[in-house]
Amino acid sequence: GAVVSQHPSWVICKSGTSVKIECRSLDFQATTMFWYRQFPKQSLMLMATSNEGSKATYEQGVEKDKFLINHASLTLSTLTVTSAHPEDSSFYICSARPLSGGGTGANVLTFGAGSRLTVL
């Protein structure tokens, strides 16, 4: 089945540094990838929609200069948390939609395992 690999699975960094999280679709191509953020005991909040070859679409309230998203190929999207602060500590999850999305499977996203970011 479709697999999405997310790396790193956890990262600890100092305040003020930048952290990059990768999201790869391993066995399928994805024109669209989504980035979500999840605080403890809360639901997933969509941060942005990443489209291959174009600028990401950010949800209201998400700072695009702080959360840089790059979708350079049909199998890779990256999220960079710039100048991270303790309040950015969270669980970040990506998901990918297959390129050939016809029929029932059109909207079935495959999720990565998530990346837990802790900013000291």
Partner 1 sequence: SQQGEEDPQALSIQEGENATMNCSYKTSINNLQWYRQNSGRGLVHLILIRSNEREKHSGRLRVTLDTSKKSSSLLITASRAADTASYFCATDSGGYQKVTFGTGTKLQVIP
| Half-sphere exposure at residue 81, Cβ-oriented, CA atoms within 13 angstroms | 27
Indicate whether 62 belongs to the interface with partner 1 (CB under 8 A): no
Indicate whether 114 belongs to the interface with partner 1 (CB under 8 A): yes
Indicate whether 7 belongs to the interface with partner 1 (CB under 8 A): no
Indicate whether 68 belongs to the interface with partner 1 (CB under 8 A): no
Per-residue CA distances from 76 to 30, 51, 54, 55, 103 (Å): 8, 10, 13, 14, 24
Among 44, 62, 74, 99, binds partner 1 (CB under 8 A): 44
Indicate whether 32 belongs to the interface with partner 1 (CB under 8 A): yes
